């Protein structure tokens, strides 16, 4: 019988534990960076949508204010035919308060559509990634 000099296990091309840990750390780092980029993109999109909506809401409010000024003057003049001018102005002011309340509720409804202000797609992606990592680590 001849004794072999090389008693170490042969390398079969499989990566070592240190290499696997290094690869996992790099992949996790890349994954986190990707999810952060996704979150930033999602928040940017939501921010733009909220800004455009707020700008349109403001422009509509200005146009409405100008139109209401003309209509109020017309309504007061029309009601002043039957009532004293002060009473006609009071009726017009009451009607305007009702309209303002209704428009405020509509604006609040539109603003709520933007919420929640969190990157839902990115959060769901991270949860799925964590679950996939768990499944691969514990088959």
pLDDT in tens, 70-106: 888 898 999 999 999 999 989 888 988 998 999 999 9
Residue 122 burial (CB count, 10 A)? 19
pLDDT over 70 at 2, yes or no = no
Tokens found for residue 97: 């308060």
**CB-based contact 110:57 (threshold 8 Å):** yes
CA distance 58 to 40: 27
The single-letter DSSP state of residue 9 is P
On average, the pLDDT of the chain sits at 83
pLDDT over 70 at 139, yes or no = no
**CA 102 to centroid of chain Cα atoms:** 26
**CA 47 to centroid of chain Cα atoms:** 7
**Is pTM beyond 0.75 here?**
no
How would residue 5 be classed by pLDDT, with cut points 50, 70 and 90? very low
């Amino acid at each position: 019988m001849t004794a072999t000099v090389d008693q170490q296990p042969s390398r079969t091309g499989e990566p070592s534990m240190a290499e696997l840990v290094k690869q996992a750390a790099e992949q996790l780092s890349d994954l986190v960076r990707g999810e952060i980029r996704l979150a930033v993109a999602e928040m940017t999109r939501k921010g733009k949508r909220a800004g455009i909506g707020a700008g349109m809401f403001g422009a509509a409010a200005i146009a409405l204010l100008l139109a209401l000024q003309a209509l109020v003057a017309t309504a007061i003049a029309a009601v002043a035919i039957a009532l004293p001018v002060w009473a006609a102005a009071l009726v017009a002011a009451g009607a305007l308060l009702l309209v303002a309340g209704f428009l405020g509720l509509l604006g609040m409804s539109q603003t709520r559509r933007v919420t929640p202000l969190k990157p839902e797609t990115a959060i769901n992606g991270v949860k799925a990634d964590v679950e996939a990592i768990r499944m691969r680590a514990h088959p």
